[in-house]
Each structure stands twice: as C-alpha cells, then as structure tokens.
Chain A
Amino acid sequence: MFSSLSFSPQLVLSQLVVGLVNGSFYAILSLGLAIIFGMLNVINFVQGALFMTGAFVGYFLLQLAGIDYLYALFLTPIIVAGIGFLIERFLLSRIYKIDHIYGWLLTFGLALMIESIFRQFYGVSGRPYPVPTWLRGTIDLGFMMLPIYRAWVILVSSIGCLATWYAIEKTQLGSYLRASTENPQMTRCFGINVPWLICITYCCGVGMAAFAGVLAAPIYQVSPLMGSNIIVVIMAVVVIGGLGSILGTIITGISIGLIEGIAKIIYPEGSHVIIFIIMAIVLIVKPTGLFGKRIR
C-alpha cells in the first residue's frame, strides 16, 4: 500500500513541498472561481476546461508559432480571456436573472463540449510540454532535491494570488467590483457600468485559469482530461473555504494541497477522497464554509 518508511522527516517534508505545489494550483483556480461566483452568481464549471484550454494554447503557441514559455504565460490568459468574453457576452449574460443552478448547468455543458473537442483530436494521454531551459535543474534542500520549476510554480502562484487580493481589496477598481457584488442596482446609480464590470471580472477569472494551465503544462503534461480531473477538487476547495473572503480562498487552496500531501504518506489511495470528507464535514458543521459569509 505505502512504503514501510513511516514518517521520516525527509519523507514528510518532501511530500509537503509537493503538496504546496498542488495547493498553489488549487489556490489560483479556486480564486478565479470564487471571484466569478461572487460577481456573476454563476458557478463557473467551465473553469477546469478553460484551465486545460490554457495549457493547450500554450502548447500550440510553442509547437506552431515557436513562442516559448515566458511569452506564453502572458499571451495565453489574454487569448483565453477572449474566449471567456464570448462565453460571457453571448451565453452567460442571458441567464443572470434566473436561478444560478442554470449557470452551473450551462457551464457544465460547455465544459463537456470543450473537453470532448480536445479529446477527439488529442486522445487522453498527455502531450509533452518541456520545462523551459532557464528553469531546469534542482535545488538541494537537504531533505530532497526540489526541481527549480516547482519552486517557480509556488513563487508565481503566490505572487498571482496576492496581486489578485490586492487588486480587489485595495484598489478603486476592486472597490467597484465589491460594490457591484453587494448591490448591483445601487452601484449602477453611481454611474458605474456594471455589465461591463461583470464582463471584465469573468474574463479575468478565466484568464487566471488559463495562466494556471500554462504553469501546469510542464508538470502535468497537456491532456484533455486535465480540466475534469481538477475541477471537482476546485469545487470542493471553494465549498470548504466559503465564498466570503479572497484570502480565505487562497489559504484553503494551499491547505488542501498540504493535507493531500500528508494523506499521500499515510494512505495514498485516500489522498483524493480526504478532500471530499473534509468538504462533507465542513458542510455539516459550518455550511457557509470556513471563511464564508452568510448570503442575505
């Protein structure tokens, strides 16, 4: 079942570092999801599929246009945000007035369609995406050799999450966003173009998913199943963290990654299930989530 090593510090620390890498992805993706839900009242199930699309766009940029990783990191979110713009303007904007379960259904259907299109052409096994040459190599941490690329992932996603938090909590645009979430009618009265703000929010949320996709490509390999594998975990993270605070979502994402890492030492087969057990417990004990605020 698992190695007969029992909790050597080397094993625990190294699994925690791997858990931190996974947690970084969970944090970025669930942040995008939480922001979109907060603003649009839409459970954006297509977040996973757009994460996968981002990875594929990065792959295409490299294969077809020779655009390497660093430029892809900036270009891909813009391209996928464009796709998000089309989704928001032509599909989602029509269903804001009705129950948010329909938003979930619509985005679920979209996710299935997008994944099927990629599956048709690319099968289910991954396409290789090489680690950029300037990020290759390992750092000797003593208890393990950490590939530089994974340290990069932790760094970049932390910066991304903090930048998002800062933008929403500390800037004027962020204040408009928060106001529109709380009371769209009142905010409109102040002359703020709420539909436009909603569109921008959606594009940014989706762009974050695509950014995470390019970041994930060298580690997880570019595969049409990337999205569906991760979206259930993201949903669980968002439920556990609650939809009240940005910082709360980030912390939950990282914590879930760490818990998964520890579970892999104790009972690897249960490392995936533990997330949902925690989700079930949180739903019973505190339904609004650990950092959530009650919806009025």
Chain B
Amino acid sequence: MKRKYLSLLMGISLFAQVNLNSISSALAADAGPVKIGVLNDMSGPYADLGGKGSVLAAQMAIEDFGGSVLGKKIELVSADHQNKTDIAANIARKWYDVENVDMITDLTNSAVAIAVQGISKERKKIDLVTSTATTALTNKECSPYGVHWTYDSYSLSNGPVRALIDKNKKWFFITADYTFGQNLQSTAAKMIKDLGGQVIGEAKHPLNATDMSSQILAAQASGADVIALANSGTDTSNTVKQANEYGITKKQKLASLLTVITDVHSMGLNNAQGLIFSEAFYWNANAGTRAWSEKFYKRHGAMPSMVQAGTYSAVMHYLKSVKAAGTANSDAVMAKMRATPVDDFAFKGAKIRADGVLDHNMYLYQVKSPSESKGPWDYYNLLATIPQGKTFQPIEESECYLVKK
C-alpha cells in the first residue's frame, strides 16, 4: 500500500516538474528579454557557409531593428555544434529550458536541423532554418513553428538540372555520405529521371573528406556527361580542385548542387570557372544587396553567402513580427510571420507557406572565368531567375501534415 502510494507520488511530481518547466518558460517568454540563438558549424567544413558570419548577420539585424523590442533589450547567443547532432540537441535544450531562448536560427547541417526542429516543436519554440538543404524539414519533419528559409534540396537542384538536362542525359553523383548529401542526391535524381535523364552511378565520401581521388576517378570511368556534386563547403572545394587536377573538366561537366560565394573564393576562379549552381542571394545583384554586403564585408572580411543574408532576413522578419504581435509567444509571432511578406534587400516579397517553406526567387549563376572577373568577389554571371512559385516543391506534393489537402 505504501509502495503504491510512493510510486504514485513520484509520478505526480515528475509530471508536475515537466509541465512546470514548460509553464515557467512560457511565462518567462514574456517576462525576460527576447533571446535569439544562432547555432551552426563554426570550425568545420561549413564554417564559411554560415559560421561566425551568420552570428554577425544576426547581430546586424538586431542593430538595424533598434536593439530592443517590446520595451526589452534583444539578446543574442551563439554556439558551435561541430556538426554533431547530440551536441546540437543538448545546446538547443539548454537554450530553451534554462536560458529562455525564444528562437533559434541558422542550424547548418541537415541532421542537426531535423533534431533541433523536433526539439523546438516539442517546446513550442520557433526555429528559422537559414541553412541546410534537407527537404524533410518541410515534409515528414515539418513543424508549425519551423520555417525553412534560404534554400532546400529541391530549389538547389531545380536550376542546374533543368539548365543541363536537355543536352546531358547521363549523370553521376559524388555525394557526402549523410542526411544532407543523400537527400540532395535523391531529390536531384528524381528530377533527372522525370526530365528524361539517367543516373548511371554514384560515389559516396564521408563528411569533411580531403582526398576525393577515388570518387573522381570512378566518375571519370563511368563516362557520364555530368558529374553532380551533392556535397558542400570544403568538400565541394576539394572535389572541384581535384577534378581539375585529374583533367575531368576536359571531357565532362561539373554541376555543383550547393555552392556559395565563399567556396568559389577558396577554390579560385581558375578551378571554379564555368561551374553552374543556384543561389538565393548574390552580393552584387543590385544596389540594395551591394549596400548591405559592403557593410557586412567591413566587419567580416568576406562577402556574405546566401546563408548569412538569410540569417539577417530571418532575424529581421522575426523581430518585426514580435513587435507587430505585441508578444514573444510563438503562436502569435508565427501567425504574424505568415501573414506578412518578407521585406528586405534579399528576400523581398517572400511568403511563408503552410508547410514551412519560405517561397522566394532563386537565381541560376555561372562562375566567371578569370579574364571576365573585374576583381575579388566579382564571380557570378546571372544565367536565369527562377521565380517565386516555381522554385520549391509544389505544395500539393508535400508530405507535411500541416498542408490541408
């Protein structure tokens, strides 16, 4: 009898503790300052994609917004998850439960993004994923509090595949062997097959591999027309550099499925020239992007990637929505975020869809040759604009439970 009582008591106290935590953090959300967290890879292969530049971008958004909202100061925290999902999950939990962070952004690394979006959903907190590609975030793993901001596998593959498929039917993939690479490859492969092409082989490599010789040689031996790189960051730079060393580009085309301007800078135009890929942002696109990017460059020392521009955009839109909603409560803020189109130098007119995709333009770029480029960071020729509405997976095909069919 006593034992039964004891276990009942323990059960009630555990239940109370768990719920008290969420109740107290919900109360704290309105009590303390608005806190934003930037969680990404600051020392690994994706350090240049977002990294410290993303933290700076968030900082700039807070400064441009005025530094405070709802009469309270806005606080920024950041952490390096080192591409380890367990570390990222622990940091996210600590931020939400102990430090009362209201929103987490960036989240480079697809595996990390899925994990943190899951944690955010449980705790009813907003996560604005401004990097990573996995389409799972807006399909099986979708969240009413999550927005996939800058790009995803579908919008990245769309441009290059459609540009090359007419004259190039045989494709070979060099893929980073984890969630991101596999998702990017399967999304692009489906697109290739639907458009009449053929995937004749693949070669996988571990994340942050430095020697791509065997994968490149396998691609060469396959006789494919196009070698598609389903990897990113330093993996892409290494693959392109070594592909040039092995003379691949003489007979075969290289298509990168995810490259940003910092990768092109590290590869050098000699290696990267002719490379085709989609980006959501280019610093030199227009006067608005130039103005912001010059400010960013002064403080960071490198031009912003689409991830860093995306982080600025996400933080700014979030803060505007908090102000409009009059509270930091996630449901109210999300409602305002969805109702208002994004308005900044990079993502003007973008709208958040029911599945969490931020619908916006994507741009197809080709890297200039060294003779075409007028100076450092003058790297891209615009080949095409893929308009909002056509960039992302059609919403009817989404597996997200939030999409009403």
- Taking Cβ atoms with an 8 Å cutoff, the residues of A that contact B are 1-5, 8, 10-11, 14-15, 18, 21-22, 119, 123-126, 128, 131, 138, 144-145, 147, 149, 219-221, 223, 225-226, 261, 264-265, 268-269, 271
Q: For chains A and B in complex, what number of residue pairs have CB atoms within 8 angstroms?
A: 95
Complex-state Cα separation, A138 to B217, whole angstroms: 14
B44 in contact with A123 (CB, 8 Å): yes
Q: Given known contacts A15-B217, A138-B245, what 17 new A-B pairs fall within 8 Å (CB)?
A: A1-B202, A2-B201, A3-B203, A3-B221, A8-B221, A11-B221, A15-B214, A18-B217, A119-B43, A123-B44, A124-B43, A126-B234, A126-B238, A147-B246, A219-B211, A220-B210, A268-B204
Interface size class of B (residues with CB under 8 A): 35 or more
Q: Of the candidates B45, B210, B217, which one forms a contact with A11 in the assembled complex, judged by CB atoms under 8 Å apart? A: B217
B204 in contact with A269 (CB, 8 Å): yes
B201 in contact with A268 (CB, 8 Å): no
B47 in contact with A11 (CB, 8 Å): no
- Taking Cβ atoms with an 8 Å cutoff, the residues of B that contact A are 42-45, 47-48, 82, 172, 177, 200-204, 208, 210-211, 213-215, 217-222, 233-234, 237-238, 241, 245-247, 266
Closest residue on chain A to residue B234 by CB atoms: A125
List 18 A-B residue pairs with CB atoms under 8 Å apart, sorted by A's residue number: A2-B202, A3-B201, A4-B201, A11-B218, A14-B217, A14-B221, A18-B213, A18-B214, A21-B213, A123-B47, A124-B44, A126-B210, A128-B266, A131-B245, A144-B246, A225-B208, A269-B177, A271-B214
* Residues of chain B lying within 8 A (CB to CB) of residue A221: 210, 234, 238
Distance in angstroms from A1 CB to nearest chain B CB is 7
Closest residue on chain A to residue B245 by CB atoms: A147
* Residues of chain A lying within 8 A (CB to CB) of residue B245: 131, 138, 147, 149
Task: Identify which of B42, B177, B215, B246 gathers the most chain A CB atoms within 10 Å of its CB.
Answer: B246
Distance in angstroms from A133 CB to nearest chain B CB is 12
Complex-state Cα separation, A52 to B213, whole angstroms: 20
B210 in contact with A223 (CB, 8 Å): yes
* Residues of chain B lying within 8 A (CB to CB) of residue A271: 214
* Residues of chain B lying within 8 A (CB to CB) of residue A131: 245
B222 in contact with A123 (CB, 8 Å): no
Closest residue on chain B to residue A3 by CB atoms: B201
B203 in contact with A268 (CB, 8 Å): yes
A10 in contact with B221 (CB, 8 Å): yes
Q: Of the candidates A1, A3, A15, A22, which one forms a contact with B172 in the assembled complex, judged by CB atoms under 8 Å apart? A: A3
Q: Of the candidates A10, A123, A265, A269, which one forms a contact with B43 in the assembled complex, judged by CB atoms under 8 Å apart? A: A123
* Residues of chain A lying within 8 A (CB to CB) of residue B247: 138, 145
* Residues of chain A lying within 8 A (CB to CB) of residue B219: 3
Distance in angstroms from B373 CB to nearest chain A CB is 19
Complex-state Cα separation, A22 to B214, whole angstroms: 11
The 8 closest A-B pairs by CB, nearest first: A3-B201, A123-B43, A145-B247, A11-B221, A264-B214, A147-B245, A14-B217, A18-B213
Closest residue on chain B to residue A21 by CB atoms: B213
